[in-house]
C-alpha cells in the first residue's frame, strides 16, 4: 500500500482517522483515570472538569484502608491474585498435555473430543451455575480457593487447548521423528523437542487463562458465599452496590486498580496474545 | 489447515502420528475430567433439573413434573421479551462492531511500521474486565454527572440532559455503545491479521487495473478475507448471547425489563426467584439455541465436513 501513503490529502485524511480512533479508544480510559483522581466534591462539578484541577490520591487511600463488612478490600486483590495465578499454572499444564495428545496422536474418539472442545467454549456460564452450586455444596468446595481454581480452569481450558494445539501443529513432525529415531520416548519428545519451541504458545495460553480468571464475575459471585473469599469483580459489586453507588471517584479508582494488571499484561505481552487469539479463533 | 477435524492424516511414516491409545488417553484425561466436572456434568444436571418442579421457596411442592415448566413457559411473556432484547443487543453490537473493526483494521493496514505500537493501545478496551466496562459506562451515561450528556450538549446534539439508563431505548443504546467499545478491538485484530495475509500480487493487480478504493475493497479485499469475517462475526454473536457482566452492572436488566437479556433472565429466575427447575428449563432451551450456532461455527471452520 506504499503507493497511497505519499499523497498529501490521503495522508491528512489518514491522520484524522487515526486521531478519531485513538480518541474513541482512549477517552473512556482517560475518563476513568481522571475521575479516580478527583475529590468527592469535584466529581459532581457541573460542567465536569475535563482535567482535574486539584488531583488527589484520596480515593486510592480510601480503598487501601477500605472494608466491606469486616473484609478489607485488599483481601479481594489477594484472592484474585492467588486464584488467577494458580489457574494459569493448572490450565497451561493441562492444556499442554491435552493439546499434545490431540496434535500428535491418532485415536478412536479424537473427532468427538475435538468437537467437544470447540462446543464447550460456547456453553453459557449462567446455565452451569445452579448445578455447580449444588455440586460444590455436596463436595465442600464452596468458599475455597480450590473450588474457584477448578471452576476457572474448566471454563478456560477448552479455548486454551484449542489455541495451544494450533501452535503445536505448526511445529514440524519431522523433529519428533528424528528424536524418536535417536531413542527419545513420546513424553521425551514433548519435553525436549516440543516444549522449547512452544514458548510463544504457552505465553499466549497463560495470558488467556489469566484474563479469563481475573475477569470472571459469575463463578465467584455464586460459588463463594463468604465475603472474605470473594475475588475482585464480585467484591466490587459488594463495595459499590447499594449505598455507595454514587461514590464515582472511589468506583473509578477501584476500576483502575482492577484493570491495571490486565492492561499491564497486555502492554508487555500483546504480541503473544494477538498471535494466540487469531490462531485459536479462525484456524483449526 | 482446514482438515484437522477429519483426522489429520499424515501418510507414510508411523513415527509422526502415534496410535498409542493408552498414552493419548492419559494425556487427555485430566483436561476431560476438569471440563466434565465444570461444564458437561452441570449441563447434563440442568437438563435433569428442568424436568422438576423445584423452587427453593416451596420445597414442599418439589417433585418430578415435566409439564410444570412447559406450562410456565407458555404463560411467561418475559422469556420471549428477553429473547427479543438479546437479539437487539447482539444485532446492533455485532453490526456496529464489525464495521468499526473493519475500518480500524484498514487504517492499521496503512500504517505498517507503527502498527505494533498502535495495536497495543487499540486492544486495551478488549482486555478490561466486563465489570469495569459496565461501571465506567454507567458513570459516563449517568443522567446527572455523566460526561456523555455534557459532550453531546456542548457539541449541540441534544438540548437537555438525557437520563440514559432510566429509559428503555436509551438504556439499550448506552449498553450497545459500551459493548461496541469493549468488543471492537477483537474484530480489529482478526481483520488486521487477515488483511496481512492477502498476497501482494492480488493488491497490485487491482491497482494496475485502476480500481477505485471502494471497488478494490468490495471486489478484491473483502472476498479474500470473507471467511475470517464470517467466523469472527459468528463467534461474537455467540459471545454476545452469553454476555453478562456489562448489562448486569449497567442496568441489571432494567428499567422495567427493557434491557433484560436471556442470560440475565435465567440468572434472575434462579438467584432472585429461586425457581431452580424453571431456570434450568429455559437454560436448556438457551443451550439448544447456542448449540445450533456452535454447529454452524464448526461447519464454517471445516468446509469439507459441511459438504459430506
Q: Find chain A residues with C-beta within 8 A of B228's C-beta.
A: 282
Q: Find chain B residues with C-beta within 8 A of A134's C-beta.
A: 45
- The answer to whether B32 touches A113, Cβ cutoff 8 Å, is yes
Task: Please report the pLDDT score of residue A148 as a whole number.
Answer: 97
How many interchain CB pairs under 8 A, A with B? 309
Task: Please report the pLDDT score of residue A45 as a whole number.
Answer: 84
A264's grid cell: 499491564
Task: Please report the pLDDT score of residue B21 as a whole number.
Answer: 78
Above 60 in pLDDT, residue A5?
no
Above 60 in pLDDT, residue B234?
yes
Q: Find chain B residues with C-beta within 8 A of A5's C-beta.
A: 110
- The answer to whether B202 touches B185, Cβ cutoff 8 Å, is no
Residue for grid cell 452450586: A133
- The residues facing B55 across adjacent strands are B275
Q: Residues of B274-290 as b/e, b for ≥16 C-beta within 10 angstroms?
A: ebbbbbbbbbbbbbeeb
Task: Please report the pLDDT score of residue A2 as a whole number.
Answer: 45
The parent domain of residue A198 ranges over: 69-282
Question: What band does B17 get if pLDDT is binned at 50, 70 and 90?
Answer: low
User: Considering the domain boundaries, does residue A198 fall inside one?
Assistant: yes
Domain ranges of chain B: 16-40, 77-307
Residues B161-210 have pLDDT tens digits of 899 999 999 999 999 999 999 999 999 988 988 888 888 887 777 777 77
Task: Please report the pLDDT score of residue A210 as a whole number.
Answer: 95
Task: Please report the pLDDT score of residue A156 as a whole number.
Answer: 94
Residues B243-275 have pLDDT tens digits of 999 999 999 998 999 999 999 999 999 888 888
Mean pLDDT within A70-96: 95
Among candidate residues B158, B182, B185, the one with its CA nearest the CA of residue B170: B158
How many angstroms separate the CA atoms of B248 and B264, rounded?
A: 7
Among candidate residues B122, B127, B292, B121, the one with its CA nearest the CA of residue B191: B122
Q: Which residue has the higher pLDDT, A56 or B208?
A: A56
User: Considering the domain boundaries, does residue A35 fall inside one?
Assistant: no
Mean pLDDT within A67-73: 86
Q: To the nearest whole angstrom, how far is the Cα of B226 from the nearest Cα of chain A? A: 12
Helices (H), chain A: 2-5, 8-36, 58-65, 73-104, 110-120, 125-138, 145-168, 173-181, 186-189, 195-197, 199-215, 218-223, 232-240, 248-282
Task: Please report the pLDDT score of residue A244 as a whole number.
Answer: 63
Q: Tell me whether 0.95 is exceeded by the ipTM.
A: no
Work out the percent of chain A whose per-residue pLDDT is above 90.
Answer: 44
Task: Please report the pLDDT score of residue A7 as a whole number.
Answer: 61
Task: Please report the pLDDT score of residue A242 as a whole number.
Answer: 66
Question: What band does B13 get if pLDDT is binned at 50, 70 and 90?
Answer: very low
Mean pLDDT within A22-47: 91
Work out the percent of chain A whose per-residue pLDDT is above 70.
Answer: 94
Mean pLDDT within B89-107: 94
Q: Which segment of A190-199, B78-87, B104-113, B254-263 scores lowest on mean pLDDT?
A: B104-113
User: Considering the domain boundaries, does residue A264 fall inside one?
Assistant: yes
Q: Which residue has the higher pLDDT, A119 or B306?
A: A119
**What CATH number belongs to B77-307?**
1.10.3720.10
- CA B210 remoteness from chain centre: 39
Residue B244 is classified by DSSP as: -
Of A35, A47, A211, the CB nearest to B150: A47
Of B34, B147, B267, the CB nearest to A48: B147
Q: Between chains, do A266 and B120 touch, taking CB under 8 Å as contact?
A: yes
Q: Find chain A residues with C-beta within 8 A of B124's C-beta.
A: 25-26, 29, 263, 266
Q: Tell me, yes or no, if the pTM score tops 0.95.
A: no
Above 50 in pLDDT, residue A1?
no
B4: helix, strand or coil = coil
B116 to chain A: closest CA residue: A271
Above 90 in pLDDT, residue A206?
yes
How many angstroms separate the CA atoms of A76 and A45, rounded?
A: 31
Residues A218-277 have pLDDT tens digits of 999 999 999 999 999 999 999 887 666 778 999 999 999 999 999 988 878 877 877 777
Above 80 in pLDDT, residue B220?
yes
Above 80 in pLDDT, residue B11?
no
Task: Please report the pLDDT score of residue B305 as a whole number.
Answer: 45
Specify the number of domains making up chain A.
Answer: 1
Q: Which residue has the higher pLDDT, B299 or A202?
A: A202
Q: To the nearest whole angstrom, how far is the Cα of B292 from the nearest Cα of chain A? A: 10
Q: Give chain B's mean pLDDT.
A: 85
Residues A131-154 have pLDDT tens digits of 998 899 999 999 999 999 999 999
Q: Between chains, do A131 and B32 touch, taking CB under 8 Å as contact?
A: no
Residue A58 burial by Cβ neighbours in a 10 Å radius (0-12, 13-18, 19+) = middle
User: Considering the domain boundaries, does residue A38 fall inside one?
Assistant: no
Amino acid at each position: 500500500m506504499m503507493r497511497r501513503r505519499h499523497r498529501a490529502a490521503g495522508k491528512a485524511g489518514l491522520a484524522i482517522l487515526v486521531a478519531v480512533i485513538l480518541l474513541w479508544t482512549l477517552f473512556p480510559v482517560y475518563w476513568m483515570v481522571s475521575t479516580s483522581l478527583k475529590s468527592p466534591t469535584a466529581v459532581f462539578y457541573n460542567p465536569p472538569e475535563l482535567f482535574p484541577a486539584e488531583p488527589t490520591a484520596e480515593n486510592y487511600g480510601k480503598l487501601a484502608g477500605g472494608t466491606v463488612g469486616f473484609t478489607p478490600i485488599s483481601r479481594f486483590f489477594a484472592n484474585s491474585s492467588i486464584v488467577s495465578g494458580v489457574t494459569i499454572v493448572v490450565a497451561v499444564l493441562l492444556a499442554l498435555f491435552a493439546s499434545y495428545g490431540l496434535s500428535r496422536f491418532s485415536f478412536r474418539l479424537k473427532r468427538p473430543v475435538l468437537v467437544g472442545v470447540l462446543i464447550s467454549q460456547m456453553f453459557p456460564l449462567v446455565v452451569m451455575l445452579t448445578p455447580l452450586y449444588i455440586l460444590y455444596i455436596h463436595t465442600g468446595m464452596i468458599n475455597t480457593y480450590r473450588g474457584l481454581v477448578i471452576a476457572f480452569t474448566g471454563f478456560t481450558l477448552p479455548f486454551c487447548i484449542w489455541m495451544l494445539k494450533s501452535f503445536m501443529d505448526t511445529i514440524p513432525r519431522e523433529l519428533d521423528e528424528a528424536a524418536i529415531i535417536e531413542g527419545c520416548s513420546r513424553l521425551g519428545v514433548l519435553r525436549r523437542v516440543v516444549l522449547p519451541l512452544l514458548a510463544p504458545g504457552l505465553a499466549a495460553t497463560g495470558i488467556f487463562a489469566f484474563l479469563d480468571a481475573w475477569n470472571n464475575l459469575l463463578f465467584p459471585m455464586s460459588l463463594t458465599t463468604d465475603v472474605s473469599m470473594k475475588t475482585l469483580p464480585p467484591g466490587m459489586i459488594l463495595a459499590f452496590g447499594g449505598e455507595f453507588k454514587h461514590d464515582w471517584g472511589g468506583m473509578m479508582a477501584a476500576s483502575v486498580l482492577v484493570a491495571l494488571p490486565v492492561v499491564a499484561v497486555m502492554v508487555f505481552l500483546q504480541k503473544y496474545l494477538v498471535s494466540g487469539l487469531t490462531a485459536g479463533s479462525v484456524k483449526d | 489447515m482446514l482438515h484437522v477435524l477429519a483426522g489429520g492424516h499424515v501418510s507414510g511414516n508411523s513415527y509422526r502420528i502415534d496410535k498409542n491409545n493408552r498414552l493419548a488417553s492419559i494425556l487427555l484425561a485430566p483436561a476431560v475430567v476438569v471440563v466434565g466436572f465444570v461444564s458437561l456434568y452441570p449441563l447434563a444436571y440442568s437438563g435433569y433439573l428442568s424436568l422438576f418442579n423445584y423452587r427453593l421457596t416451596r420445597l414442599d411442592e418439589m417433585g418430578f413434573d415435566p409439564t410444570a415448566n412447559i406450562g410456565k413457559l407458555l404463560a411467561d411473556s418475559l422469556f420471549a421479551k428477553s429473547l427479543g432484547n438479546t437479539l437487539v443487543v447482539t444485532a446492533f453490537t455485532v453490526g456496529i462492531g464489525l464495521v468499526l473493526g473493519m475500518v480500524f483494521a484498514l487504517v492499521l493496514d496503512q500504517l505498517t511500521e507503527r502498527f505494533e505500537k498502535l495495536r497495543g493501545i487499540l486492544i486495551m478496551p478488549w482486555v478490561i474486565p466486563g465489570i469495569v466496562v459496565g461501571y465506567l459506562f454507567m458513570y459516563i451515561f449517568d443522567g446527572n454527572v455523566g460526561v456523555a450528556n455534557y459532550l453531546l450538549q456542548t457539541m449541540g446534539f441534544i438540548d437537555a440532559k438525557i437520563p440514559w439508563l432510566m429509559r428503555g431505548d436509551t438504556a439499550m443504546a448506552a449498553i450497545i455503545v459500551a459493548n461496541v467499545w469493549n468488543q471492537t478491538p477483537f474484530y480489529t485484530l482478526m481483520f488486521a491479521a487477515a488483511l496481512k495475509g492477502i498476497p501482494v500480487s492480488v493488491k497490485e493487480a487491482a491497482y494496475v487495473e485502476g480500481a477505485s478504493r471502494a471497488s478494490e475493497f468490495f471486489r478484491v479485499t473483502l472476498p479474500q478475507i470473507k471467511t475470517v469475517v464470517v467466523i469472527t462475526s459468528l463467534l461474537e454473536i455467540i459471545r454476545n448471547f452469553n454476555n453478562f457482566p456489562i448489562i448486569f452492572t449497567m442496568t441489571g436488566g432494567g428499567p422495567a425489563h427493557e434491557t433484560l437479556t436471556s442470560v440475565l433472565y435465567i440468572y434472575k429466575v434462579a438467584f432472585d426467584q429461586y425457581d431452580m427447575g424453571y431456570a434450568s428449563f429455559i437454560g436448556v432451551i438457551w443451550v439448544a439455541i447456542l448449540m445450533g450456532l456452535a454447529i454452524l461455527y464448526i461447519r464454517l471452520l471445516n468446509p469439507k465436513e459441511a459438504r459430506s
